[in-house]
């Protein structure tokens, strides 16, 4: 077992102690910041959910950026959820902090901490969670779901008006997923499966209440299976047919390919590190109780997923591999979070207590600079954070490798798409995507005052295209860039030539460049530099 000592310690005592953590790029510099959430005290945790008492924003290298609320209370974060997320809810390219605080729902500018929008809560007992969903089928999630402890939830539109509400046995934080493929996300709230308009589609007939919910296409693509964990674990089809039941209690499960060379993903009960196959068949159990287990992907270059956790009264954090073998020791004890703080595809593990966060990397890392100077979009695993629900590993955007050019690690993206026969490797690259990828790869960013008439300010490629225009790389007589048009070899080579890049596409000039071609160009530029 290896001990990891690449560690940066930052002081978080100004946040007030007893905090939970969220990660996200709130100031648009390409690095994730830390938002520490101080919980507000409640009279009885069994019946009332928590609101945020204070929020403290701290940079990855420890600078206090801003603070809202009162940090002095005694309440500490333990086994409950908190209603705070980081997400670009108004779709202007910059992340907000969305928080239930002091009787209001607040939309806070991530950079300045200015309140952009606020509403009085539809009910004074709302708290515990904030879930972001695409209920209207726009393709971009802008709905917010709020709830009280266990019985009532509210769905809001993009202007924070209540669309509908629902009463039932709704368990902990809801999970949203488009289970029927119509473009709108359904809501699994405890035992209830709700349509995007709030109708009850079906209900699991189980006692007590649900802890963890997980949706994953376990057997076939496009056929999601819904796993609901209450006193037992049940797997249902999207239409509510019971597939199997496992008599295990679980507060949190995670689905993924933890073992090598398996076809269907396994189901890991995080509470006691026991692993089951995709039909609920027992595989093995770690015969130790592990506290605060958290799955970690992209920590080192092995491609393995680790589970970070503590043994009882241990002073260290251990990383277990998919066979629950101890692989690394991180010499710190505390709450665990993880994230690709710099946007370079490498995940850091953050272990924190009331005073300090220790940030571990697998290799020496400079936390003061982002891999790319562009705002980072929040993927789902960071905008719907909850204590009980963990996204299946296949749905994680590790290192931001999503099919969205604005929010990913370029080299990892290239790595994926340069492989033959990858799904949609042969899709065309648009002009805007080409410019965005190159600007990111070359770290180009200039101040500019004008852009092309057909490049919208809120677009992900606005800064990259503006930079290229300012540098004289892009020119057009009618002030149009035609951002969505597929990029031809001729046009691409012209841009590469102006950038003095000797590597160019050696194809027919009219050929339209595919993702795979682009991926290979990026790789060759990277190895040449």
CA–CA distance, 335 with 79 (Å, rounded to integer) = 11
Residue from 31, 38, 286, 469 in contact with Ca ion (CB under 5 A): 31
Contacts with Ca ion by CB under 5 A: the residue count is 14
| DSSP conformation letters of 381-438 | HHHS--SS----GGG--GGG-SS-GGGS-HHHHHHHHTSTT-TTTTSBPBHHHHHHHH
Chain centroid, CA 101 distance in Å: 22
Name the segment binding Ca ion (CB under 5 A); options: 30-38, 77-85, 229-237, 468-476.
30-38
Q: Which structure tokens are listed for 490?
A: 């001729």
In the bound complex, what is the minimum distance in angstroms from residue 7's beta carbon to Ca ion? 21
Q: What is the nearest approach in angstroms of Ca ion to the Cβ of residue 443? A: 16
Name which of 154 and 374 has its Cβ closer to Ca ion: 374
40 binds Ca ion (CB under 5 A): no
Site string for Ca ion, 353-392 (x = CB under 5 A): ----------------------------------------
In angstroms, give the least distance from the CB of 140 to Ca ion. 11
> By CB under 5 A, which span of 172-180, 199-207, 266-274, 278-286 interacts with Ca ion?
172-180
- By beta-carbon proximity to Ca ion, the closer residue of 318 and 377 is 377
Q: Using CA atoms, how far apart are residues 45 and 401, in angstroms rounded to an integer?
A: 38
CA 69 to CA 489: how far, in whole Å?
55
CB of 183 to Ca ion, least distance (A): 7
Cα dihedral 100, 102, 107, 109 in deg (nearest 10)? -120
Q: How far is the CB of 31 from Ca ion (least distance, A)?
A: 4
Residue with smaller CB distance to Ca ion, 157 or 245? 157
Name the residue nearer to Ca ion (CB basis): 274 or 381.
Answer: 381
Site for Ca ion in 58-97 (CB under 5 A): 88, 90, 92, 94, 96
| Structural contact between residues 52 and 69, judged by C-beta atoms closer than 8 angstroms | yes
Instruction: Report the DSSP beta bridge partners of residue 445.
Output: none
Binding of residue 27 to Ca ion (CB under 5 A): yes
The residue (of 27 and 517) whose beta carbon lies closer to Ca ion is 27
Please report how close the Cβ of residue 242 comes to Ca ion at its closest, in angstroms. Answer: 21
484 near Ca ion, judged by CB under 5 A? no
Smaller CB distance to Ca ion: residue 123 or 178? 178
Output 88 or 216, the one with its CB closest to Ca ion.
88
- What's the sign of the alpha-carbon dihedral 289, 292, 295, 297? negative
Cβ at position 468, least distance to Ca ion in Å: 23
Q: How far apart are CA 38 and CA 486, in angstroms?
A: 48
Residue from 277, 278, 314 nearest 293 by CA: 314
Residue 94 or 209: the one with the smaller Cβ distance to Ca ion is: 94
- Contact between 497 and Ca ion by CB under 5 A: the answer reads no
* 382 φ/ψ sector (left φ>0, alpha ψ -120 to 50, else beta): alpha
Read off φ and ψ for residue 396, nearest 5 degrees.
Answer: -80, 145
Q: Closest approach of Cβ 187 to Ca ion, in Å?
A: 10
Q: Which residues of 180-218 are buried (b: 16+ CB within 10 A; e: fewer)?
A: eeeebbbbbbbbbbbbbeeeebbebebeebbbbbbbbbb
- Closer CB to Ca ion, residue 92 or residue 497? 92
CB of 382 to Ca ion, least distance (A): 13
Sign of the C-alpha dihedral computed for residues 385, 390, 392 and 397 taken in this order: positive
Strand partners, 292: none
Q: Which stretch binds Ca ion (CB under 5 A): 23-31, 261-269, 389-397, 477-485?
A: 23-31
End-to-end CA distance of the chain: 35
Stretch that binds Ca ion, among 8-16, 38-46, 173-181, 382-390 (CB under 5 A): 173-181
Nearer to Ca ion, 347 or 516 (CB): 347
Q: Which stretch binds Ca ion (CB under 5 A): 37-45, 171-179, 198-206, 246-254?
A: 171-179
**Min. distance of Cβ 284 from Ca ion in angstroms?**
36
Mark residues 94-133: x for contact with Ca ion by CB under 5 A, - for none: x-x-------------------------------------
Does 22 interact with Ca ion (rule: CB under 5 A)?
Answer: no
Query: Closest separation between CB of residue 231 and Ca ion, Å?
Result: 28
- CA–CA distance, 519 with 525 (Å, rounded to integer): 10
Nearer to Ca ion, 116 or 520 (CB): 116
Q: Which of 22, 38, 50, 184 binds Ca ion (CB under 5 A)?
A: 184
Residue 2 lies near Ca ion (rule: CB under 5 A) = no
Question: With binding defined as CB under 5 A, does residue 494 bind Ca ion?
Answer: no
Residue 291: how many other CB atoms lie within 10 Å? 15
Residues 6+ apart with CB under 8 A from 101: 40, 51, 52, 53, 55, 68, 69
Query: Which of 17, 29, 405, 412 is close enough to bind Ca ion by CB under 5 A?
Result: 29
**Is 180 an interacting residue with respect to Ca ion (CB under 5 A)?**
yes
Asked whether the beta carbons of 392 and 297 are under 8 A apart, the reply is no
In the complex, least distance from residue 139 CB atom to Ca ion, rounded to whole angstroms:
12
Q: 69 CB contacts (<8 Å, ≥6 apart)? A: 38, 52, 53, 54, 55, 101, 102
Asked if 63 and 74 count as a contact pair (C-beta separation under 8 A), the reply is no
Q: Which of 88/266 has CB closer to Ca ion?
A: 88
Binding residues (CB under 5 A) for Ca ion: these are: 25, 27, 29, 31, 33, 88, 90, 92, 94, 96, 178, 180, 182, 184
């Amino acid at each position: 077992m290896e001990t990891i000592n690449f560690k940066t310690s930052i002081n978080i005592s100004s946040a007030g102690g007893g905090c939970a953590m969220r990660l996200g790029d709130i100031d648009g510099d390409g690095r994730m910041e830390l938002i520490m959430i101080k919980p507000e005290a409640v009279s009885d945790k069994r019946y009332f959910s928590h609101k945020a008492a204070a929020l403290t924003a701290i940079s990855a290298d420890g600078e206090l950026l801003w603070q809202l609320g009162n940090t002095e209370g005694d309440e500490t974060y333990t086994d409950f959820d908190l209603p705070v997320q980081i997400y670009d809810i108004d779709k202007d390219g910059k992340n907000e902090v969305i928080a239930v605080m002091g009787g209001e729902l607040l939309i806070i500018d991530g950079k300045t901490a200015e309140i952009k929008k606020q509403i009085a809560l539809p009910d004074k007992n709302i708290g515990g969670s904030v879930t972001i969903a695409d209920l209207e089928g726009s393709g971009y999630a802008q709905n917010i779901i709020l709830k009280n402890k266990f019985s009532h939830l509210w769905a809001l539109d993009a202007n924070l008006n209540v669309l509908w509400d629902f009463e039932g046995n709704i368990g902990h934080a809801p999970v949203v997923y488009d289970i029927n493929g119509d473009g709108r996300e359904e809501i699994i709230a405890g035992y209830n499966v709700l349509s995007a308009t709030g109708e009850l589609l079906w209900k699991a007939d189980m006692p007590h209440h649900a802890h963890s919910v997980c949706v994953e296409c376990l057997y076939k693509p496009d056929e999601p299976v819904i796993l609901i964990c209450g006193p037992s674990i049940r797997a249902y089809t999207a239409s509510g047919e019971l597939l199997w039941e496992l008599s295990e209690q679980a507060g949190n499960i995670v689905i993924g390919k933890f073992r090598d060379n398996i076809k269907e993903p396994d189901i890991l009960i995080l509470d006691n590190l026991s692993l089951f196959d995709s039909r609920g068949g027992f595989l093995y159990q770690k015969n130790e109780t592990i506290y605060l287990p958290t799955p970690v992907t992209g920590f080192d270059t092995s491609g393995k997923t680790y589970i970070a956790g503590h043994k009882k009264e241990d002073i260290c954090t251990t990383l277990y591999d998919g066979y629950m073998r101890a692989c690394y020791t991180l010499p710190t004890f505390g709450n665990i979070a993880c994230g690709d703080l710099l946007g370079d595809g490498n995940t850091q593990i953050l272990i924190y207590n009331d005073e300090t966060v220790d940030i571990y990397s697998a290799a020496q890392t400079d936390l003061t600079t982002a891999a790319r100077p562009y705002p980072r979009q929040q993927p789902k695993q960071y905008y719907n954070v909850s204590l009980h629900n963990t996204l299946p590993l296949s749905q994680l955007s590790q290192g931001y490798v999503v099919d969205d050019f604005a929010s990913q690690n370029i080299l990892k993206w290239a790595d994926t798409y340069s492989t033959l026969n990858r799904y949609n490797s042969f899709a065309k690259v648009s002009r805007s995507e080409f410019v965005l990828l190159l600007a990111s790869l070359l770290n180009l960013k200039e101040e500019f005052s004008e852009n092309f008439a057909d490049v919208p300010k809120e677009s992900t490629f606005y800064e990259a295209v503006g930079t290229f225009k300012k540098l004289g790389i892009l020119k057009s007589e009618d002030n149009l860039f035609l951002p969505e048009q597929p990029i031809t070899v001729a046009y691409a080579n012209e841009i590469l030539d102006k950038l003095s890049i000797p590597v160019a596409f050696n194809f027919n000039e009219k050929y339209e460049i595919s993702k795979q071609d682009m991926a290979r160009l990026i790789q060759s530029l990277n190895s040449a530099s």
